[in-house]
Amino acid sequence: MFDLTFPPNSHGDLDQDEEWCEVTVDGSRRRIRFHDYHEIYPIPGLYEHLFYDRLECSSPTTVRTLLEEELSAASKVPAGLRVLDVGAGNGMMGAELADMGVPTLVGVDIIEEAAAAAERDRPGLYEDYMVADLTDLSAEDRGRLAEVRFNCLVTVAALGFGDMPPTAFAEAYNSLETPSWVAFNIKEDFLEGDDRGDFSGLIARMLEKGALEERARRRYRHRLSAAGEPLHYLAMVAVKRADIPLESVLRLD
């Protein structure tokens, strides 16, 4: 479908946020960095081809399965969920949630290209799709989120690597009702390893203080790197028990 190649091995091991591919689009060869989503989404089918067909990304299905298992263990059903899908992209995770039977889905992404791709690829999937920077929400956008009375936050492949900072996560989290379900994934090093980032500090404190109650954590292969190596992530499902004061999070950003 796409004439897409990865860097030759001579480029050595690129960091995950430096990885790139070359692809022919409308007759010209272009080099695109994996995390330059604003360049990927406008090309129909490229996001799925790159991350799912070639790099075998399994995150939406893994997070979905973990959420389904925990809902079932708590005798809850997806039909009762009002989900905020943060870092929604073109709707890969949203499609899983709709397939589970979630009736209310709202997407948020920081770039216009994601909203346009979601509408192009999965029209009508989201009841609403906000293009917003969650670290700098307008009062109007905050009101728009509060109106839905979300009882579930989902964020897949959008934490870490300079994507969503802790305050953005906290803002989304605080827009949920209490209690609410929270399902996300993150690179394992960011939560558990030596390479723990600011996000791990936030989650650790939320768990310690009881604001977040962990229900399940699963290590799995998120996708392959451009060099064909497995990249391991953790999927987590938890329950919100209290808001997180934004002031305490600000110093983590």
> Considering only CA atoms, which of 156, 197, 148 is closest in space to residue 175?
148
Q: What minimum distance in Å lies between the beta carbon of 8 and ligand SAM?
A: 24
Cα gap 59→25, rounded to integer Å: 27
String marking each residue 8-47 x if it binds ligand SAM according to CB under 6 A? -----------------------------x----------
DSSP label of 159: B
Q: With respect to ligand SAM, which residue has the nearer C-beta, 61 or 213?
A: 61
CB crowding 85-110: b at 16 or more within 10 Å, else e: bbbbbbbbbbbbbbebebebbbbbbb
Under 8 Å between Cβ of 114 and 37: yes
Size of the site for ligand SAM (CB under 6 A): 21
How do 230-240 and 180-187 pair as beta strands?
antiparallel
CA distance 253 to 251: 6
Q: Which of residues 131-150 bind ligand SAM (CB under 6 A)?
A: 134
The SS3 of residue 208 is: helix
- Check residue 60 for interaction with ligand SAM (CB under 6 A): yes
Quick check: 226 binds ligand SAM (CB under 6 A)? no
| Cα 41 from Cα 28, distance rounded (Å) | 17
Residue of this chain nearest to ligand SAM (CB atom): 89
Site for ligand SAM in 75-114 (CB under 6 A): 86-89, 92-93, 108-111, 114
Restricted to residues 153-172, the positions that interact with ligand SAM (CB under 6 A) are 156-158, 163-164, 168
To ligand SAM, the closest distance from the beta carbon of 106 in angstroms equals: 13
Q: Supply the minimum distance, in Å, between the C-beta of residue 235 and ligand SAM.
A: 12
Shortest distance in whole angstroms from residue 232 CB to ligand SAM: 16
Q: How far is the CB of 37 from ligand SAM (least distance, A)?
A: 5
State the greatest distance between any 2 C-alpha atoms of the chain, in Å, as a whole number: 55
Distances (CA, A) of 41 to 13, 47, 89, 141: 25, 6, 8, 24
* Of 74 and 246, CB closest to ligand SAM: 246
Task: Name the residue nearer to ligand SAM (CB basis): 6 or 41.
Answer: 41
By beta-carbon proximity to ligand SAM, the closer residue of 60 and 197 is: 60
Residues 110 and 88 sit within 8 Å (Cβ to Cβ): no
Residues at the site binding ligand SAM, with contacts judged by CB under 6 A: 37, 59-60, 86-89, 92-93, 108-111, 114, 134, 156-158, 163-164, 168
